[in-house]
Structure 1
Amino acid sequence: MEAEFAGKVKCVFIDPPYNTGSAFTHYDDGVEHSIWLSLMRDRLEIIRRLLSEDGSLWITIDDNEAHYLKVLCDEVFGRRNFVVNALWQKRTSPDARLSIGDAHDHILIYAKSKDRFSLNRLSLSEEQTSQFKNPDNDSRGSWTSTDFTAQGWRPNQMYKITTTAGVEYEPPAGRCWSNIESEFKRLLSENRLWFGKDGAARPRVKNFLSEHEGVRAWSWWSNAEVGHNQEAKKEINTLFGADSFDTPKPERLIHRIIELATNPNDLVLDSFAGSGTTGAVAHKMGRRWIMVELGEHCHTHIIPRLQKVIDGEDQGGISKAVNWQGGGGFRYYKLAPSLLRQDAYGQWVINKEYNAEMLAQALCKLEGFTYAPSDAHYWMHGHSTERDFIYVTTANLNHEQLQQLSDEVGAERSLLVLCTAFRGRGDYPNLTVKKIPKQVLSRCEWGHDDYSLQVENLPKAPPQAPSTDSGRTGGMAKGRAVNVAQGGLFDEGEA
């Protein structure tokens, strides 16, 4: 994924296992503290590379690991890129089982680069909107008013004001007017000052609802604004029945994060997808999204939930607030089997589940090449630029074969050759030859199917230049099959 999306994700939200030892049904929660931190570090480093320069990371966590995680995030992202620790009021009443009930969770917020980072304003709530009135029937619509004084003493803001009823005012003791006199006169001429119904009160500035740009968020997120645990459970139970998921987050909470951190069509990532709330909310809000989940609840919760969203059947959560009626779609990708396995002697060999096409596609992806086999040249299995190509074979290549490849590639092109073994005697300036097991092992740790998988040194996304021989690109599902007659990706006797 990193090869395609590095530097492109605007917002990452993760709700990782809290490591509380509460034995979550859907996560291994309660691993040893240092192991948990190590697992988180690996993911944070990948997340940072995936984020765009103006992107941000949002992590929900409780007191058990919040402060250790903060230090770890400081190390990975840099303390200068810490934005704030927002507190989410997750409960509606104290937990009677505890001496002091935990009312909140933490939301750690980090920017990829704080110099490039900015947050949107929040839309006004119904309660806030209800404060706007129009007592003077202003054609610009409803408004609220704010005081026209400021704290302190400034000589050019200490003038006398005469109201529309002829009453004169000086600034109150210890204060001055909010603006200089010329600005006051402009506001007065534009009917942006309010002196009360009788025109005799101190001036106040009219702020129109039609001109309001929203409000700034702060670090206290009450459950009245963004929901609570019980609300989240109710949303999930409505979709899947009682006790279907242990630790969901309310849709209103995710809505708040996405509203602040992204704009329509931005890319949102959740690498601990859980019950699929992030994808569901992002979809309803017109954002692109990626979710990653290794648990079986990908099939029992996430896919059915997203199908309900697309069909318009999910009218819970934020659906009514955003007028969601359904639409769109999603692609589902399943992790391929491990590319390598150990044989009876403990040696790493290519997994027999991989056929020629799967192997070529996997190694193209791993090396940062676009899989696009050529009809004209058997050794063109993919390209990274219009002059750089990759060839994958399980053959043992000798000097004559390598020399022939070098001659065919020519001086104007380069070729990465991945093979089982090779024996060369000469210098091939346009070839880079590597052994498949060793090359693959240097990239990843293999043989894991859970959250202990460590991925390192993945390639950066290559330039999107088309091949001179083939403009086709393909993925695991749509790539063209390798022609095994073209020089033999799997020649007879080599599998």
Structure 2
Amino acid sequence: MKNQKLELTWIGKDKRPKLEARILLEDAAKSYHAPTRSEQAIFDNRLIFGDNLLALKALEQEFAGRVKCVFIDPPYNTGSAFAHYDDGLEHSIWLALMRDCLELIKRLLADDGSLWITIDDNEVHYLKVLCDEVFGRGNFVANVVWQKRTSPDNRLRLGNAHDHILVYGKQPLIHQKFNQLEIGEARKKDFKNPDNDPRGAWASTDFTGMTGHATASQFYKITAPNGKKHPPPEGRCWAISELTFEKLLQENRVWFGKDGNSRSRLKRFLSEMEGQNAWFWWGNDEVAHNQEAKKEINALFGAKNPFDTPKPERLMKRILELATNPGDLVLDSFAGSGTTGAVAHKMGRCWIMVELGEHCYTHIIPRLHKVIDGTDQGGISKVVNW
């Protein structure tokens, strides 16, 4: 097995479609903009009605290396009957279609761009290996777990409550380029000011580390105000040198507890924080759930014209907050009900969406009209002052 390259195999893997370059034609009758336009307005957003692979190939000449974030919500291949998608493709066909799609997406991504794919347990492990093959294992960033339900499924003794969001970069260490999130109200409640520090509210943080690469300078004892000496906890070391600790102590950035006897912790001031880091667990209290997504769609189109598997706007907002900045280009080649374009538009990002289903006309176009006109006040509209 040494130096042997492992790949995912399936029936017909060597068969590839011949994708000839196509020309994108504007349907001027369907192009749309707000009645009043500002000088800062962007008019290069595109909604493409057509086949996924052909559309991605057509975009390659103009947009190769320019897309900052790709989000796709492909058919989950569950075998279920969906009104808007054939979600029961035979496994090998599904893998071949995803492979061809991923290769085109990789060419469209900017060097600092990232790909986000929502998927469930049915295909996530195969998709992970496939993405490793196309993007390289070193470019895997995260498997974000999104809590899509609010309660267990009573029909099952062990019910599914989450979807996966696989995240890849075009280059390694893409996580270093992600943005921090705005500090939420729940997080702000963790900051207090028990010692009336003039710098305002703060939270104490641990500053111990693993001992694997520690030096002797990280095993000093710290003397608390009452004279008690504290070594690092057993099996741990101090994460900073003694010299650095003494400097922080002089700046009143060390906390020994109300009685001055506890093991020291560092004070982190809310006023000095630019944001907070995200992690791989996204609860539905932060980024919404399936029920909220369906309510958003029903508010736009009515319950008689639903979309089976929409994603909530708060989920897409989280992804774009981390992966993009205003003016960046976002691509979604499985546009569905148009959530990606709607949220990107409200957040000041440029967007391209591709959709072949009839809901391109029944859902996406009417939805984007409402966003552009400002009559869509659901989803994230009020949060971002749209």
TM-score range, shorter chain: 0.7 to 0.9
CA deviation digits over 1:360-415, x for unaligned, max 9? xxxxxxxxxxxxxxxxxxxxxxxxxxxxxxxxxxxxxxxxxxxxxxxxxxxxxxxx
SS in 1 for 2:194: coil
Number of residue pairs aligned between Structure 1 and Structure 2: 323
Match of 2:277 in 1: 216
Deviations 1:436-456 (A, max 9, x none): xxxxxxxxxxxxxxxxxxxxx
Check whether the contact 1:149–1:171 (CA below 8 A) recurs between aligned residues.
Answer: no
Q: CA shift at 1:6, angstroms?
A: 0.8
Q: In structure 2, what is the equivalent of residue 16 of structure 1?
A: 74
Equivalent of 1:103, from 147, 156, 161? 161
Instruction: Tell me the equivalent position of 1:170.
Output: 230
Contact 2:139–2:174 under 8 Å retained in 1: no
Confirm or deny that 1:125 pairs with 2:187: no
279, 283, 289: which one pairs with 1:228?
289
Aligned residue for 2:145?
Answer: 87
Work out whether 1:44 is the aligned partner of 2:102.
yes
Task: Give the Cα–Cα distance (whole angstroms) in 2 for the partners of residues 275 and 103 of structure 1.
Answer: 22
1:299 to 347, 361, 364: 361
Cα 1:11/1:151, change in 2 over 3 Å: closer
The Cα of 1:171 is off from its aligned counterpart by 1.8
Distance 2:275 2:378 in 1: 25
Q: Are 1:309 and 2:367 an aligned pair?
A: no
Say yes or no: does 1:237 pair with 2:295.
Answer: no
Indicate the SS of the match to 1:7. coil
Deviation of 1:268 after TM superposition, in Å, equals: 0.6
Counterparts of residues 210-289 of structure 1 (less than 5 Å): 210-243=271-304, 244-289=306-351
CA separation of 1:301 and 1:20: change in aligned 2, threshold 3 A: same
Structure 2 gaps, min length 5: 1-58
For the structure 1 residues 173 and 106, does the alpha-carbon distance in structure 2 shift closer, same or farther, using more than 3 Å as the test? Answer: closer
TM-score scaled by length of structure 2: 0.76
Query: 8 Å contact 1:53–1:116 — kept in the other structure?
Result: no
Distance 1:112 1:320 in 2: 33
Q: Which residue of 2 aligns with 1:74?
A: 132
Change (3 A) 1:158 1:53: closer
How much has 1:29 moved relative to structure 2? 2.2
- CA distance in 1 between counterparts of 2:208 and 2:232 reads 8
Deviation at 1:150, TM superposition (A): 4.8
The corresponding residue for 1:206 is: 267
Q: Distance in 1 between matches of 2:99 and 2:335?
A: 18
Q: Which amino acid aligns with 1:307?
A: H
Deviation at 1:38, TM superposition (A): 2.4
Q: How does 1:341-490 map to 2 (within 5 A)?
A: none
What is the letter of the counterpart of residue 235 of structure 1? E
The runs of 5 or more residues in structure 1 that have no matched partner are: 326-495
TM-score by length of 1: 0.60
AA at the equivalent of 1:236 = I
Taking a change above 3 Å as real, the CA distance of residues 106 and 178 of structure 1, as seen in their structure-2 partners, is: closer
Say which structure, 1 or 2, has more relative contact order (CA 8 Å, 6+ apart): 2
Cα distance in 1, alignment partners of residues 196 and 81 from structure 2:
61
> Secondary structure at the residue paired with 1:292?
strand
**2:87 paired residue among 26, 29, 33:** 29
The CA deviation string for residues 27-52 of structure 1, in whole angstroms up to 9 with x for no partner, is: 22222222222222222221111111
Identity %, equivalent residues: 71
Does residue 180 in structure 1 map to residue 238 in structure 2? no
Comparing 255-264 with 67-76, which one deviates more in the overlay?
A: 67-76
- CA offset at residue 75 of structure 1? 2.5
Q: What secondary structure sits across from 2:355 in the alignment? A: coil
Q: 1:293 to 1:171 in 2, by over 3 A?
A: same
148-157 or 131-140: which moved more? Answer: 148-157
Q: CA RMSD in A?
A: 2.4
Inter-CA distance 158–15: structure 2 relative to 1 (3 Å threshold): closer
Per-residue CA shift, 1:61-118, capped at 9, x if unaligned? 1222222222322232223322222222211222223342121212122211225663
Q: CA deviation at 1:151?
A: 5.8
d(CA) in 1 for partners of 2:370, 2:194: 46
Residues 223 and 230 in structure 2, CA contact (< 8 A), matched pair in contact too: no
Alignment partners' CA distance in 2, 1:31 and 1:157: 57
